[in-house]
Each structure stands twice: as structure tokens, then as C-alpha cells.
Amino acid sequence: AYILTHPGTPCIFYDHFFNWGFKDEIAALVAIRKRNGITATSALKILMHEGDAYVAEIDGKVVVKIGTRYDVGAVIPAGFATSAHGNDYAVWEKNGAAATLQRS
């Protein structure tokens, strides 16, 4: 989740995508990255960093939570909706991002 939602040039390991059962989760994260134009030069703002949770906002369009903690709602900015989640991570997009792609 970190590599695909943060600034940089991500690489997806073939086995993770095709052999280890992560295809749907990885595809969802790649779609979020593309939909929101995350690149190597995207802006990163860390909203929370504690032992059990890391929350960051990317380009003001995507928020990602990594860690076992689930009570992070207070640090998620208004106007964001959950787009993806899995084992110890969740991703929110600014409202309307997913709907815009589906309509085009």
C-alpha cells in the first residue's frame, strides 16, 4: 500500500501480482494512483505517525493509513471516502475521484 500510494516510481513484483493472491488489492491501488495522478514529484503530508499507525495525505487527493490501529477517523480530512482497504491498511480518496473515472 505504501509504495503504490506514495511519491516515487513503484515496481510491482510479478509473484505478488500473479501468484500470491494480491492481484485485486494491487490493481485497486494502481487504479487509485492513476486516477489521482500520483507521481515521483507528488506532495506528501504526514498526518499521524505513531507505533501502531501511519497516516499520510498525498497531493491533497489521497489519504493512506498503514498499521494495526483503526481509530484514525479524527485525522482523516473532511471530504474523503474509503476507496480500498486490506490487512492493516486503508486508502481514502477525495470525494468524487472514483465516480469521475467511472463516468468517463
Q: What are the 10-residue block averages of pLDDT along the chain, 104 residues in total?
A: 96 90 94 98 98 97 97 95 96 77 44
Q: Read off the CATH number of the domain in which 84 is found.
A: 2.60.40.1180
pLDDT of residue 21: 87
Which domain range does residue 20 map to? 2-103
What pLDDT does 102 receive?
A: 47
Measured between alpha carbons, how far is residue 67 from residues 48, 59, 87, 95, 102 in Å? 11, 21, 9, 23, 30
DSSP of 77-104, one letter per residue?
PTTEEEEEEETTEEEEEETTHHHHHHH-
Please give the pLDDT value at position 25: 94
pTM score, two decimals? 0.88
Please work out, in degrees rounded to the nearest 5, the angle formed at the alpha carbon of residue 68 by the alpha carbons of 65 and 74: 50
59: Cα separation from own chain's centroid: 12
- Identify whether the C-beta of residue 32 lies closer than 8 Å to the C-beta of residue 3: no
Counting the structural domains of the chain, the total is 1
> What pLDDT sits at residue 95?
87
| pLDDT at site 68 | 96
